[in-house]
Every structure is written in structure tokens, then in C-alpha cells.
Structure 1
Amino acid sequence: MKNTFMILVLSLLFVSCKQEIKPTDIAKLNGYWEIEKVVFDKGEDKEYGMNENFDFFTVKGNTGTRTKVMAQLDGTFLTTNTFEKFSVRNTDKGVFLDYNTDYAKWTEELISISDTEFVVKNDQNKEYHYKKAGPINILNDGKETK
């Protein structure tokens, strides 16, 4: 009986701790993001140090794109014309980003989001932890980066 009560309390705690993501929070995805770490389904995680590649998100309403970009030494980003389109789907179970390319379709659940970080989980239960990327100017050439 005591164990059942403890499991019930812990279950309620985990359910109540999940962030409620509002439709207005989706706009926080706009900008440059880098992967900080990946947490695998068995609990182990892989930390990422300095990244050369970033994800650039643009979201308008319930649709958006994610483009892979590469940071340059002067603080700018090099990009290609390849991108992934996604749509935002709000359900009673959570918020999902549904991707659709010519080659594949997949979904990621948006677990949490703030101005400086967000977490998504894919169908393999891998959690991708992103942090907002700021400009990098290694050249220190006096130019202001954006």
C-alpha cells in the first residue's frame, strides 16, 4: 500500500512538471540554435562542445523551416538552399513539429521551450537539447556581429 501511494505521488509529480507550451511560445523557435546534448532512451547522454553547425529556425503561425548553417570566423553564417519544412501541431498530448521532405517524414515532440533553450524528442525517444546561439567573432576584427 505504501509503495502504491509513493508511485502515485511520483507519477503526479512528473505529470505536473511538464511545461505547458502555449501557441505564442512557438515564436521563440525563431533564430539560430545549437545542439547542447542528446539524451538517449536508456538515460545516457552525449554532450556537444563547440559546434560548427547550427540550426536556423523560422516560424510563422503554424508553419516553419529549419536550415542547417555553418558558423564563420567573422560571426556570420554560411547557408545552403536546403531546408526542412515543418508544421506545428497542437494536441491534448502536446505540441509536435511534423517534418516533411522529398525523402522522409518524421515528428518531434516539443518538450520545453524558453528564450534560451528548447528540447524536442523524436520517435526513438532521443531528446535533443538546444541552446540559443549567439554571434561568434574569433577574428576580433572590430566588426560588430549580428
Structure 2
Amino acid sequence: MKHRAVIKKSHLKQDFCNLLKLRNSVVILLSILVFNCSKTANISTDDINGYWEIEKVTLSNGTEKEYKYNETIDFIKINDSLIGFRKKLKPGINDTYFTSDDAEKLHIKRENDSVNMYYSTLYSEWKETVLEVSAEHLKVITKNKDVYLYKRYTPIKLDIE
């Protein structure tokens, strides 16, 4: 009889630990959902439009690369219908930019509580999912699970007279 009581206590202890683990998992999952939804739920074209430069890339294998200087930056322009383009620019001084006529078509869609950016060129199509956007940062993830963190580009201003 004593042996049975010990087994029951052991099972109760294990069940209690499993319940705690489940509760913690649910809390973490809900936190992630609330955090992600709050970062992308109220995206406007003003949040995304403008000049962006890569600050850091985190590859799917965990490797990180920080960018101190970028030779090219991205210019994104989206209209109220969430259709626009992204163009690569080479910044000059005093708000001058050098570019080609190439641009990537861009269409933004809200899907399953996510904001997706669909790009297309004559040669390729791809999607990036917005993880976070603010006045200063844009964070997206690719289908390969690479995460790109962009910061607003600050133009080079020189006082030339």
C-alpha cells in the first residue's frame, strides 16, 4: 500500500510540472502574438516610405553581420493602395542620389495577422514579412529565415559655399 501512495505522489508531481511547462508555453506564445501584432497592426505608408539602409543581417544559421557603412541604400515609395516600388540608390552629398532606371515593383498585403511585402522584377518574385516597423527601423524576414534590420538613412550634408 505504501508503494502505491509514492507512485501517486510522483505522478502528481510530474503532472504539476507538465502543467507549469504548458502554462509557461502558452504565456510565451501569447506574448509573441501580442508583440508581433502590435508591431505591425497599425502600419501606414508613412512608416515604410522613405530612405532605408541595412544596419544588420541575421542569417538563418544565427550568423550576424553588422553594416557600418552602405554604398547603396533603398528608397521605398508606396501609395495609399499599398502598391509602389523599391529602388537602389547610391547616395551623394547634399541630398543627391545616383541610380539606374531599375526598380522592384512592390505590393503590401495584410495576411493572417502579418504584413507581407511582395516584390517582383522581370526576373524574379519574392516575399518579405514585416516583423517590426517604426519611424526609425524596419525589420523583415525572408523565406530563407534571414532577418534584415534597416535604419532610416541620414543624408550626408556638407556646408559647401
| TM-score (norm: length of structure 1) | 0.87
The secondary structure found in structure 1 opposite 2:40 is coil
Q: Measure the CA separation in 2 of the matches of 1:26 and 1:92.
A: 19
Identical-residue share of aligned pairs (%): 29
The secondary structure found in structure 2 opposite 1:141 is coil
Shift of residue 22 of structure 1? 2.5
Shift of residue 84 of structure 1? 0.3
Q: Which moved more, 1:11-20 or 1:81-90?
A: 11-20
Runs of 5+ consecutive residues of structure 1 not aligned to the other structure: none
Bigger CA radius of gyration: 2
Partner of 1:93: 113
Partner of 1:9: 27
- Letter paired with 1:106: W
Partner of 1:27: 46
Structure ranking higher in helix proportion: 2
Find the partner of 1:103 among 123, 130, 146: 123
Runs of 4 or more consecutive aligned structure 1 residues displaced over 3 Å after TM superposition: none
Asked whether the equivalents of residues 21 and 112 of structure 1 are also in contact (C-alpha less than 8 Å), the reply is: no
Find the partner of 2:104 among 80, 84, 102: 84
Asked whether the equivalents of residues 70 and 77 of structure 1 are also in contact (C-alpha less than 8 Å), the reply is: yes
Query: Alpha-carbon deviations, 1:20-63, whole Å to 9, x = none?
Result: 3325x233211111000011223331110111210011110210
Task: Number of aligned residue pairs: give it.
Answer: 140
Find the partner of 1:42 among 43, 54, 61: 61
Shift of residue 3 of structure 1? 2.0
The secondary structure found in structure 2 opposite 1:115 is coil
Structure ranking higher in strand proportion: 1
Partner of 2:142: 122
| TM-score (norm: length of structure 2) | 0.79
